[in-house]
Amino acid sequence: METFYTAYTKLLDYKTYFFVKKFTAFPEFKDVSPVLESYGMHTDFDKACSIAGLTDPAIKEQLLQQAEENIQRGRIVELTPVSFAGQSIAG
């Protein structure tokens, strides 16, 4: 039996929430999926960890880095005026 954690962020109502999940895996059983034991969700990472039952500072640091690396950044896409058959579509 093994215990592992995952962490990610999600933007809800213009606020970033941290999700921390605790799983138990049984590698000795070939076709058994990991079982979700507990999870925490909060705008404060430490509170999300506390809700999920995670207290180990080393694991928390790794999960915070993992969550911050996976934050999707916005992109700027430039729109340029396009002419179609002599008529301007944008601009």
Domains in the chain, CATH or no CATH each: 2-80 (3.30.160)
Give the tens place of pLDDT for each residue, 37-89.
999 999 999 999 999 999 999 999 999 998 888 765 555 666 777 665 666 55
User: Which amino acid, one-letter code, is at 19?
Assistant: F
Give the tens place of pLDDT for each residue, 10-29.
888 889 999 999 999 998 98
Cα atoms in the 13 Å half-sphere on the side-chain side of 9: 20
Helix (H) or strand (E) holding 7: strand 2-12
Phi, then psi, of 48 in degrees rounded to 5: -60, -40
